[in-house]
Amino acid sequence: MKNLYRPIESVIEDIREETANIKTYRFRPKEPITFEAGQFVELTVPGVGEAPFTPSSNPNVTDTMEITIMEVGSVTDALAKMKVGDTVGIRGPYGEGYNLKDFEGRDILIVGGGVGLAPLRSLILALFDDIDKYKRISIRYGARSPADIVYLDLLPDWEKMKNTEVQLTIDEPHPDWTGTVGVVTVLLEDLAFVTTVDVDQLPLDTSNAIACVCGPPIMLKFVNMALLDKGFKPENIYHSMERNMSCGLGKCGHCMLGEYYICKDGPVLTAAQIAKFEDPF
């Protein structure tokens, strides 16, 4: 039986700089680690501590794992100083991922903000692996500035995928930016799927579509409101609720939201599940 408390030794195989304070690390665990899109792992930097992160790589790849990480604390600061060939520990996975069976045959709307696109990347890659099972995939992503856009080199390839579109926005005007300006909710004002500039916009079937959202808490709050206003059903809106998770097993209580342990019952929870809480975000 797998020991969920034991970190698996993992070697840093590659480090890719996404922005000034966000990097994507590729780890090669000494044992394969399987996970579902939406689940998370605990990453240990020896001598410093551990912190929870959602993998950003394809869940169908088990010999390596990628995690996109922002420098925001002691563990991430220590990790930022590490180099290719250094070793960390990874334990997990924990929590519940997305039930992709429920997504089949539907429009899929993915809304990310800042580094919140990282956990969604795992979902996106899983969807791409079986893209014919889904009606259409629409990715809406917002960042503070052009320099804060993660996966900038990957986004053009995503848009080339069958029945997939990508729309971007930045928070404030910038001399190097000619696209949409405003927080990510501006991309939800007209929920239409655009295939090319020469093809008419086709409306998303919001009454039956799936929405998956990840980003800062304030973004989750206002995106949730916007999606409900657009006709999305609460049970079809999935939020990645990354709170103060610690043990990963629902034992310490750090991440409780009402009766839910985010680490155990989440981190993916629907708008229907959290609707009864006054301020779930």
Do residues 236 and 205 lie in contact, with contact meaning Cβ atoms separated by under 8 Å?
no
| Tokens 């950003």 found at | 56
**Span 100-240: which CATH code?**
3.40.50.80
Write the class of the CATH domain 8-94: mainly beta
Give me the residue spans of the domains in the chain.
Answer: 8-94, 100-240
Q: Rounded mean pLDDT of the chain? A: 92
Three-class SS state of 173:
coil
**Cα(119)–Cα(245) distance, integer angstroms:** 15
**Cα(266)–Cα(7) distance, integer angstroms:** 21
Do residues 25 and 12 lie in contact, with contact meaning Cβ atoms separated by under 8 Å?
yes
pLDDT at 203: 84
Three-class SS state of 253:
coil
**Cα(88)–Cα(19) distance, integer angstroms:** 22
pTM: 0.93
**Cα(32)–Cα(63) distance, integer angstroms:** 5
What is the residue-level pLDDT of the chain in tens, covering all 281 positions?
567 778 999 999 999 999 999 999 999 999 999 999 999 999 999 999 999 999 999 999 999 999 999 998 899 999 999 999 999 999 999 999 999 999 999 999 999 999 999 999 999 999 999 999 999 999 999 999 999 999 999 999 999 999 999 999 999 999 989 999 999 999 999 888 876 555 567 788 899 999 999 999 999 999 999 999 999 999 999 999 876 777 777 888 888 888 988 889 889 999 999 999 888 88
C-alpha closest to that of 108 among 80, 82, 128:
128
